[in-house]
Amino acid sequence: MTNQTAPIVTAALLVIGDEILSGRTKDKNIGTVADYLGAIGVDLREVRVVPDEAEAIVEAVNALRARYTYLFTTGGIGPTHDDITADCVAAAFGVPIDVDPRAKAMLLERHKPEDLNEARLRMARIPQGADLVRNPISKAPGFRIGNVFVMAGVPAIMQAMLDEIGPTLETGTKVISDTIEVGNLPEGTYASDLGIIAKAHEAVSIGSYPSMTPNGFANRIVVRGRDAEAVASAREAIGTLVARLRDGTATG
């Protein structure tokens, strides 16, 4: 696929889990998925976190799969009663769900037949028509149905599944990102001029991101876009602005 014809490919992430909303577990998957998708040319456009409740999951799956090229979900595919993601995705698609022989075979790579009890077999319940996503770590697979990819919540397993999924995705032109470190130059001194630069460079998006350090604010300006020349042009204009302000010749 060449850059000239590459479409814009979008995605949403649905994080399923009471433990994130209660604060007990601090999510690590959002940042991983954002980095991964950005690197292969898929735009992550929305993230939602919902509890382990069927109605909330089904509604979010249907809203997000309709809106974006892809939907990725994390969490809720283990053997316990609170693992209801597969059933909810089946309900969202209106398809039956049952133990899938391919998934059962994967579980048997890890568990002896006599240990494959009813609870563990829950992990082989896959909506009809889905393709499996291999889990090299603990074997219980994720799956793809339509444009929805269902992954585990445990970060190491989620990452392994993402590595399986990545090569199968349609991808668009990658977004190029360039960061200008402006240090302790206050946002308020460059905001007006930066806004003028942003208007003059509409092919890119320009963001200003303050962060706090022990020595006060440290600001960064980030230029993002799909056209390398457009990014470079905006970057040069911002570099000139920042140099001018640092020299104290600005009226700010």
Q: Indicate the burial class of 10 (C-beta count within 10 angstroms; 0-12, 13-18, 19 or more).
A: middle
Binders of its own copies among 163-182, rule CB under 8 A?
175, 177, 179
Q: How far is the CB of 24 from its own copies (least distance, A)?
A: 6
Of the residues 1, 54, 156, 228, which one makes contact with its own copies according to CB under 8 A:
156
- Dihedral class, residue 142 (left if φ above 0, else alpha if ψ from -120 to 50, else beta): beta
Distance CA 11, CA 217 (A): 33
Separation between Cα atoms, residue 223 and residue 172, nearest integer Å: 18
Q: Could you give the angle at which helices 187-200 and 228-246 cross, rounded to 10 degrees? A: 150
- Interface with its own copies (CB under 8 A), residue total 72
Rounded to an integer, what distance in angstroms lies between the CA atom of residue 186 and that of residue 141? 49
103 and 141 Cβ atoms separated by less than 8 Å = yes
> Which of 115, 163 has the CB closer to its own copies?
115
Toward its own copies, which CB reaches closer, 133 or 223?
A: 223
Site for its own copies in 232-251 (CB under 8 A): none
**Residue among 1, 101, 102, 209 that touches its own copies (CB under 8 A):** 209
Nearer to its own copies, 95 or 217 (CB): 217
Q: What is the C-alpha to C-alpha distance for residues 8 and 1, in angstroms, rounded to an integer?
A: 12
Which residues between 11 and 70 bind its own copies (CB under 8 A)? 15, 18-27, 30-31, 34-38, 43-52, 56
Residue 8 makes contact with its own copies by CB under 8 A:
no
Q: Which of 129, 136, 183, 210 binds its own copies (CB under 8 A)?
A: 210
Is residue 81 exposed (0-12), middle (13-18) or buried (19+ Cβ within 10 Å)? exposed
CB 129, min distance to its own copies, A: 26
Query: Least distance from C-beta 203 to its own copies, angstroms?
Result: 15
The residues in 62-121 that bind its own copies, with binding defined as CB under 8 A, are 78-82, 111, 115, 117-120
Tell me if residue 168 falls in helix, strand or coil. helix
